Amino acid sequence: MEKPTKLTRRRFIALSLLGTGGMCLLSRCMNPPLSPWLFITVREANLLDALVEQIIPSDEWPGGRDAGVTNYIDRQLASHYARLQEAYRKGLLAIQETCTSRFQKRFEDLPFDDQTKFLKIMEAGKMDGAQWANGFDRLFFRMIRDHSMQGFYGSPRHGGNKNNVSYKMMKLDYPVIIGQNRYNHKPDGK
């Protein structure tokens, strides 16, 4: 027969920590992993991947998706473009609702050519539906187009242009960012 062990303060703390750790581990297993994105959801990221790939399609060079443009947009929406969060949520939802009602598919599930046609109508400002009122279709298209270009051609330090893909494509060395020009350059050479 085993002799009962005395519950010391040290043993109590050790058992408490072990129990707490087990509960934390169990709750982590029960809950789905957190989104890898700062602002957008996983579903919104899938849609944005399809949109940026339409705007900057892959050819012999990686397109918007592979260049990390969605990552750039997400990072900017979580910081510098926080004022545009509501517009992005509204626009992405409007795209999915329009595609679901017209095609019974999500935008990213449409064939590439159908996605192109959809975006051309959006760019022209000819989308039907209350969610596109007051030119929101044209405005949202321009916003995504502009942010895609920024993410593709900008500095990788902002989350896009993965592996300097656009710099390599244009045969540019990694640009040195000087910032404010504080050199005392004098036109007469003095």
In-domain check, residue 144: yes
> Model confidence over 33-58: pLDDT tens digits?
567 899 999 999 999 999 999 999 99
In-domain check, residue 175: no
In-domain check, residue 125: yes
Instruction: Look up the pTM and report it.
Output: 0.74
Give the CA distances from residue 4 to residues 7, 12, 21, 114, in Å, rounded to whole numbers and listed in that order: 9, 14, 25, 74
In-domain check, residue 174: no
Number of structural domains (the chain) is 1
Domain containing 151 equals 42-169
In-domain check, residue 189: no
In-domain check, residue 17: no
> Model confidence over 8-25: pLDDT tens digits?
777 777 777 777 666 655
